Amino acid sequence: MDMVNKKLDYFVVDVFTDRVFGGNPAGVCLLDEWLPDDILQSIAMENNLSETAFLVKNEKTESIRASYDLRWFTPMIEIDLCGHATMGSAYVLFNSVEATVDKLEFYTQSGILTVERNNDMLWMDLPSRPATPAENYKCIKKALGLNEYKCYKSADILIVIDNEEDVKRISPDFQALKEIKEEAKMQGDNFVVIVTAKGTDCDFVSRVFAPNCGVDEDPVTGRAHCVLTPYWSKELDKTSMTARQLSSRGGQLWCNDEGERVKIGGKTVLYLRGQISI
């Protein structure tokens, strides 16, 4: 990889939380133009966050909204959808670049995504990814220590269990969990495994694992709620829900089922602003 002698504006924001050191930290890197993919991947590997977002402003929108091309990288691979780094990108733009707008468009591998701000909340519009029943894959019992569960599949794997305490207690064997790629015939490594249950002080809870992507446990996962929202909307017979992700950092989300789309809301705080020299 050739060094290109650039200084890149870089931020780390904690997403789906109202406090630093909570939620999911996202790296956000603003670019004037796209750099080679190997450099983007190296930056994400160096940052070693669940995802680093890279943005280049475009002129695709004809409205007053600002428009950006957006890509996301884990330390290992580029992925096709990342909610928390999209919200983190919007927070950076709203507060540092696009102070006069209240809505942003992002052009991504998953189509056009939008983020709006409403006071201290940001709301993302993402594609719904409903899951359909799947077999109870053998590696799930081995990897997660579960005997009773229901399994569903969409772009990701959804595991439904009986109660919140069992979600908290899971201690995964991540090497064994990687085997689900072959057993479930997933295409590539670009997927997560979601474990969920009905919540006690919210509508539903979850944890999310993505060892095939290079992220053993993701702290708070927007893309997972593209699967969770339609599932729990049907189960609970309601379209507006609250959710918590039960990682060690924890996070709070507001979820609206809107048919082919889901709206996911949350709060975000700035942790770091600086420059990357390459």
- The one-letter code for the residue type at 261 is R
Query: What residues act catalytically?
Result: 51
Q: Are 161 and 170 in contact (CB under 8 A)?
A: no
SS3 string of 129-151? CCCEECCCCHHHHHHHCCCCCEE
Q: Are strands 78-79 and 268-277 parallel, antiparallel or unpaired?
A: unpaired
Alpha-carbon distance 54 to 61, whole Å? 19
Residue 165 phi/psi, 5-degree rounding, is: -60, -35
In whole angstroms, what separates CA 204 from the centre of its chain?
Answer: 17
Distance from the first to the final alpha carbon of the chain: 11
How far is residue 199 CA from its own chain's centroid? 20
| 3-state SS, residue 47 | helix
